[in-house]
Amino acid sequence: MREGRRVERKKQKQKRKMTPEQIEKKKKNIIRTFITIVALLVIFTIAMILNNFIILDNNKTTNLVINNKNVTSNLKNEILIQDHIIYLSEPDIANFFDKYIYEDDETNQIITTYDKKIAAIGFDDNVININGSEKEIYAHAINQDGTIYLPISEMDDVYDIEIDNIEETKVITMDSLDREQKKAIVTSNLAVKSSTNFIAKTVDRVNKGDTVVVVSSENGYSRIRTANGKLGYVKTKKLENEFTVRENMEEEKQIDGKINLTWDYFSQYGSAPDRSGTTIDGVNVVSPAFFYLDTDGELKENVGESGQAYIEWAHSNGYKVWPMVANAEAARESLDITSEIMNSYTKRQELIEDIINYCVEYDLDGVNIDFENMKQEDVDMYSRFIIELTPRLKEIGLVTSVDVTAPDGAETWSMCFDRNVIGDVADYIVFMAYDQYGVSSTKPGTTAGYNWVELSLNKFLTTEEIEPEKIILAVPLYTRVWTTNANGELISNPTIAMKNIDSTIPDGVEKQWNDELKQNYVEYADGDNTIQIWIEDIDSLKAKVSLITKNNLAGVASWQKGMETDEFWTMLKEELSN
């Protein structure tokens, strides 16, 4: 029995004994495991080294950081630094600050606008003109190998920026003074990482007690900007005593809610109406016909004592006053009068200065620019006028509103406006949604059919890419009485006020509703002639005004005060409050 156990143990031992192949395989597994462990240790060591590697003073060219974003890769030309003056190329200024920067051949100056400033700088004298006032600086514009450069470090007040040139790290920072900036204190010596990943290079180091700009904070990490101008990440808990250096400066709007403007028109030979003791329910802006270009191209005023009384009446009732500035007389006389002004920087500035002076003199709240009948080839120069006027008005807290017609019309009536630029620059662009068929039409038609208004408005929003909150929809308080003879020839098409339409239509003539135009229509005989009227009434105007709420537009304007029925103001107030 004992012998049997011995034999059994011998057999099991023989089974456990490995073959040479098995031994070799086991050795390889041990070596492979060892190599893997060593490799992991090496990778970990390299990662730790890389994680603490600092790329400092390694910028081959000057880096530009604007509002905590490194935009160096977006530069179109290199930054020039000469005698401690920082120069930025005109294309780069157009990219980062003023897309409407302009080279004026007449004065050999660069004209640039930004928010509340318009500046002109030349190539010879160390002088800059800002909002009509000259200022001595230490540099001027230069032309280097065909590229124009501006001394941006001498123009910080134009672009409202704070500039810091950090020579040690070849970083220039530019911060907009109207944007929020927060800072904090570092609680310990830290490596500033390029990202929040575990393995990330160190872009800079900060020491305990250093002050850093806090760009943003999320998921336990803060993106900061160091005193060296480097952008990176640290753990939020390593920062303390965060404080706000400056708040976001948001421009307050004059009008809360929807704008309800009405034009109070009277010719340059008339005088402002006496509205003392009256109010206009729901209206918050009035636009009297105070200013116009005469046939000499000079801006004339038609305010007088009656106009001043009108302004006092408006302000006492809480209405803002944005008077019309029209080229009506000049445009009627000749397209060349307006064209001459638009094509001259000097003349544009003279006109702008006159507008500013009148606004200050009469304590106005804004202007309504109503230039019509202009040359199509002057479309860009008219835009320049609005580009240059708006910052001057904004500087003194006034509103710029600009009237335009529907797109795709006549050259001198429609194609003379760059609606995209006007809508971008001005506070408001006013779409005069009339005359679909007007005084120059050769056949009868509606003044403003709903379908045409909606189609045109969609072009403002889509093709022209204008923000809806900048668009004021202007509606007509009148229509036309179209008379044609037996041969179908148009005889006359005088306008008739909304309030007088019903008394014009003979008894027994029935109105017919056109759902596409969303208007009532009448047609009747007058002897051998045929009379046609596409009626503007409460129903038609309500349909058009509904587009304001539907598209979230800025508000409404109505042409003109005195043509309406009393119920119009009630309807308007109710529709705008929806």
Domains of the chain: 63-167 (3.30.457.10), 180-246 (2.30.30.40), 259-476+537-576 (3.20.20.80)
pLDDT tens-digit readout, 352-371? 999 999 999 999 999 999 99
Radius of gyration of the chain (CA): 36
pLDDT for 6 equals: 58
pLDDT tens-digit readout, 6-26? 555 555 555 455 666 666 666
- Is residue 52 over pLDDT 90? no
Question: Which residue reads 């160190």 in tokens?
Answer: 202
- Is residue 537 over pLDDT 80? yes
Max intra-chain CA distance, the chain:
145
pLDDT for 507 equals: 96
d(CA 153, CA 161): 9
pLDDT for 131 equals: 98
- Is residue 55 over pLDDT 50? no
d(CA 467, CA 155): 30
- Is residue 43 over pLDDT 60? no
Burial class of residue 30, CB neighbours in 10 A (0-12, 13-18, 19+): exposed
What is the rounded average pLDDT of the residues 77-99?
97
Question: Which residue reads 């539907």 in tokens?
Answer: 550
pLDDT for 347 equals: 98
d(CA 47, CA 122): 54
pLDDT tens-digit readout, 124-155? 999 999 999 999 999 999 999 999 999 999 99
pLDDT for 22 equals: 63
pLDDT for 536 equals: 98
The model's confidence at residue 53, banded by pLDDT at 50, 70 and 90, is very low
Burial class of residue 28, CB neighbours in 10 A (0-12, 13-18, 19+): exposed
Average pLDDT, the chain: 93
Question: Which residue reads 């001027």 in tokens?
Answer: 140
The model's confidence at residue 54, banded by pLDDT at 50, 70 and 90, is very low
538-550 helix and 566-576 helix, angle to the nearest 10 degrees: 20
Q: In what order do the strands lie in the sheet with 133-136?
A: 102-104, 109-114, 117-122, 127-130, 133-136
pLDDT tens-digit readout, 447-504? 999 999 999 999 999 999 999 999 999 999 999 999 999 999 999 999 999 999 999 9
How does DSSP classify residue 460?
I
pLDDT for 10 equals: 54
d(CA 443, CA 441): 6
Measure CA 406 to chain center: 20
d(CA 490, CA 437): 13
- Is residue 57 over pLDDT 50? no
Q: Cβ distance 523 to 534 under 8 Å?
A: no
Question: Which residue reads 């990943």 in tokens?
Answer: 197
pLDDT for 198 equals: 86
Task: Mean pLDDT check: name the lowest of 29-43, 93-107, 389-403.
Answer: 29-43
Burial class of residue 122, CB neighbours in 10 A (0-12, 13-18, 19+): middle
pLDDT tens-digit readout, 198-221? 889 999 999 999 999 999 999 999
Q: DSSP string spanning 314-377? A: HHHTT-EE--EEE-HHHHHH-HHHHHHHHT-HHHHHHHHHHHHHHHHHTT--EEEEE--S--GG
d(CA 451, CA 440): 21
SS3 content of the chain, % helix, strand, coil (to 5): 35, 30, 35
Report residue 479 as tokens: 């229509």
pLDDT tens-digit readout, 280-308? 999 999 999 999 999 999 999 999 999 99
Measure CA 486 to chain center: 53
Which pTM was predicted?
Answer: 0.91
d(CA 189, CA 199): 19
Q: Cβ distance 525 to 486 under 8 Å?
A: no
What is the rounded average pLDDT of the residues 416-444?
97
pLDDT tens-digit readout, 242-294? 999 999 998 889 999 999 999 999 998 899 999 999 999 999 999 999 999 99
pLDDT for 288 equals: 98
